[in-house]
Homo-oligomer: A and B are copies of this chain.
Amino acid sequence: MKIIIEPNISDWANILNRPTQSFDELEVLVKEVFSEIKINGDAAIQKYTHRFDKIDISKISVSDSEIMEAIIKVSDSLKEAIKIAKSNIEKFHKSQIIDKKLIETMPGVKCWQESRAIEKIGIYIPGGTAPLFSTVLMIAIPAMIAGCKDIILCTPPDKNGKINPAILYAADLIGVRKIFKIGGIQAIGALTFGTKSVPKVYKIFGPGNQYVTAAKQFAFKSGIAIDLPAGPSELLVIADDSAIPEFVASDLLSQAEHGTDSQVLCVANSIEILAEIIKHLKTQISVLPRKDIARVALKNSKFIFINDLQNTIDFVNVYAPEHLILATESNDFYIENITNAGSVFIGNYTPESAGDYASGTNHTLPTNGFAKSYSGLSLDSFTKKISFQEISKTGMNSIGNAIEIMAESEGLQAHKNAVTLRLNSLNTNSNGKSDKK
């Protein structure tokens, strides 16, 4: 835990520096697994599931009866909670549908864009202690709204060859039925190349450990799009006297419990508030089941006193946090001036965990400073926009000459010819010889 008072602008970059990550050393392993999956398909998947997950899976696809069993196992209260989250996530992501807007840039020159779903997508859901069914919602719901045809979910089997019931329940509720018991590198490899059982996809979504991250980088190099570059999760809170220290402490801890490398920062214009927050942190952490993880993360946490609105937001924009909580009387100022952040939580009653689960926004967000250039997941992430143009004879007459001049200046005579032939035909055929349009 570092407490920093009014840092100099020249020190900001240093203070906000993140630990660098490199997965280069995993490349050899990823290459091995990928090339074997490319050649041996399902057999290679089974081999590596045996080696990495310590289990033999005879059938890698999840059956209907397994899904039915899972549905029975999930408690009614969790089902109800998931349905509320689903409804909110659906509402927010449906609001991102954009109407086609046709523009006539010149008379007779019509241009527009249309969205099309990415046809085949893969979802990776990690196994381990936290069964991330919430991530199933965050990826599969916008994929369904976009209209993705093939939605393939891979998640590692546990020691008994099973998948967490809540993951299967969430997938089934949304309508994802192609589910495979595959984890780690071999899951990403299967989605990249396709096997007899697992369809090849065009884009891979989902979090994972360093092996999954390295595999996704390799998938990207092999021509498969990926959702976002990965990094440890982050939260920055801006607080002032209007913040409730107990709440801020709970938010910082909900970040810290994610992993030992979680990034936890708090900026305030009041030393007293910072001290109060730290006091509550110490009380609250002691009862947490994941306190050992949170303690390591808090060791690297930073509490910064900056007594100026503009300096504060400049500092935050340099960091570009994944999650930003605004617990101040100047929230409007910060909303207007934030340029680099993944998702923003406004006011004392908007904890980060609301966005993680149920407010409706997406929880897959840019980490590691990528908020400077990347958005979090949204409906856009599951679609491409195709541009269309339709030029009438009138349009060709008005735009043709400009194209000819530019093409010639770039030394591309055939580009010019394509226009010249059309202009000539319009001038010589003005008697209507050809009525092809």
- A residues touching B (Cβ–Cβ < 8 Å)? 77-78, 80-82, 84-85, 87-88, 91-92, 95-96, 98, 101, 103, 105-106, 109, 111, 113-114, 116-120, 129-134, 166, 202-203, 217, 221, 223-225, 229, 242-244, 246-247, 250-251, 253-254, 256-258, 284, 288-290, 294, 335, 338-362, 366, 368-376, 378, 380, 383-393, 395-396, 399, 401-403, 405-407, 409-419, 421-422, 425, 434, 436-437
Contact = CB atoms under 8 A, between A and B. Distances in A.
25 contacts: A80-B402, A81-B402, A96-B101, A217-B221, A254-B412, A290-B411, A338-B386, A342-B387, A344-B386, A350-B389, A351-B403, A351-B418, A351-B419, A352-B418, A353-B419, A354-B389, A357-B406, A357-B407, A357-B415, A358-B406, A361-B387, A371-B384, A373-B384, A375-B386, A378-B387
Contacts of A343: 386-389
Nearest to A377: B387
Contacts of A362: 387
A38 to B, nearest CB: 13
Contacts of A246: 421, 425
Contacts of A258: 412
Contacts of A403: 81, 351, 353-354, 356-358
Scoring A81, A221, A395, A415 by chain B CB atoms within 10 A of each residue's CB, the highest score goes to A415
A101 to B, nearest CB: 5
Where chain A touches its partner, the secondary structure class is: mixed
Contacts of A357: 402-403, 406-407, 415
Contacts of A221: 217
A248 B34 CA distance: 42
Scoring A103, A134, A351, A386 by chain B CB atoms within 10 A of each residue's CB, the highest score goes to A386
A254 B349 contact: no
Rank and list the top 4 A-B pairs by shortest CB-CB distance, nearest first: A105-B360, A88-B105, A225-B373, A81-B402
Given A374-B384, A434-B244, A390 B254 contact: no
B359 A84 contact: no
B116 A339 contact: yes
A148 to B, nearest CB: 11
Contacts of A254: 412, 414-415, 417-418
A293 to B, nearest CB: 10
A247 B360 contact: no
Contacts of A346: 388-390
Nearest to A293: B414
Contacts of A410: 130-134
Contacts of A87: 105
Contact of A288 (B106, B354, B387, B413): B413
A80 B434 CA distance: 31
A301 to B, nearest CB: 14
A361 to B, nearest CB: 4
A91 B103 contact: yes
Contacts of A355: 387, 389
Scoring A257, A361, A393, A416 by chain B CB atoms within 10 A of each residue's CB, the highest score goes to A361
Contact of A253 (B85, B217, B414): B414
Nearest to A256: B414
A154 to B, nearest CB: 18
Contacts of A229: 223
